[in-house]
Structure 1
């Protein structure tokens, strides 16, 4: 089965391909020109479905299965920020590093060095006959310093519960077991098997 990803984010594509080795996984940008998808939902689930529906419609092929991920980090001391705005926390044109440093600065402004936080991943699946969405979570602490060069996004500042290293420092195999995205993917793979 061919799974078309409604993303061109290289970090997400790499992670999803590694976790879905049994399937041919293709970013939609390899099939059609990239286009802007307005993510105006209020939840990770709504935004994941918006992306999956938009790519499914644009591909105009009833035989494809489109998968979309919407994910982010929510920090307790910031009342859940950045949440659904994680990818653009430092502004529309911001990159991973800009977002990372803005979040660390926002936590520092609260006069603490770390805060409980969690990652959420919503993964949506759209086919010609159905729509699904599942969630996965990972809990830990967001700290005000960046450590490690592994992963992407906020990984260098996030220490999962039970560990003393950030996701940026941890081995990929450990991250696969802990990841919010891997937890959601394990659920979505059960759905894919019955399609």
Structure 2
């Protein structure tokens, strides 16, 4: 069994990677989170792109633990806001990880924006750092920002994101539906060959 460190404390992200690996038939990897390893100094997310932040997090985790490490940086890019919040998505309201405040602020900023100009995409960059090298991949999930939150599944901006071709928000999808279409699901699927090679 090969240990793989997923550089997050978010149990939902860990579960998502579990499901992607299961669906791809990848066995022999034991997923650990940052809660399972001794604490180390985590560099602040100062990259200008999702890719830079994901790679920095994966490198930090690999350097600190010696374990093959996967990290992701993700967020929402809104057309009417010139691609913002982007890499600032998790701290858009000023407090890191305050999903409700971030979502409320975003809806407030878009309150006068008509439906045809509410286009957006969820973006995820996933990076793997290990002794054999580094891999960085990117997944995008196009859609639009709803006028109000709907659904109780998922996390982050899921309740206000309506995927292209859907009438339901990302928070109204089942975990399996979300994995099959989501930005992180798309990025992780691209990472599967590199993860399989670790075993």
Q: What's the TM-score once normalised by structure 2's chain length?
A: 0.90
Counterpart of 2:21? 20
Conserved in 2, the CA contact under 8 Å of 1:105 and 1:144? no
**Residues 80-139 of structure 1, C-alpha deviations (whole Å, 9 max, x = no match):** 11001111111134511111111111111x443560000111000000230110011100
Residue correspondence of structure 1 range 86-101 to structure 2 within 5 A: 86-101=89-104
User: Which of 49, 54, 59 is the equivalent residue of 1:48?
Assistant: 54
Residue correspondence of structure 1 range 18-97 to structure 2 within 5 A: 18-21=19-22, 22=27, 23-33=29-39, 35-59=41-65, 61=66, 64-97=67-100
Counterpart of 1:117? 120
Residue segments in structure 2 that go unaligned for 5+ positions in a row: none
CA distance in structure 2 between the partners assigned to 1:128 and 1:105 by the alignment: 46
CA distance in structure 2 between the partners assigned to 1:37 and 1:27 by the alignment: 17
Tell me if 1:8 matches 2:20. Answer: no
SS class of match (2:84): coil
User: Could you say what the CA RMSD is over the residues aligned between the two structures, in angstroms?
Assistant: 1.6
SS class of match (1:18): helix
Counterpart of 1:191? 194
Please identify, of 67-76 and 113-122, the stretch whose mean Cα deviation from structure 2 is larger: 113-122
Conserved in 2, the CA contact under 8 Å of 1:74 and 1:119? yes
Please identify, of 99-108 and 12-21, the stretch whose mean Cα deviation from structure 2 is larger: 12-21
Please identify, of 87-96 and 142-151, the stretch whose mean Cα deviation from structure 2 is larger: 87-96
**Pairwise CA distance, 1:194:** 2.9
Counterpart of 2:166? 163
CA distance in structure 2 between the partners assigned to 1:93 and 1:182 by the alignment: 23
CA distance in structure 1 between the partners assigned to 2:109 and 2:16 by the alignment: 28
Please identify, of 64-73 and 90-99, the stretch whose mean Cα deviation from structure 2 is larger: 90-99
Report how many aligned residue pairs link the two structures: 191
Conserved in 2, the CA contact under 8 Å of 1:121 and 1:137? yes
Please identify, of 28-37 and 160-169, the stretch whose mean Cα deviation from structure 2 is larger: 28-37
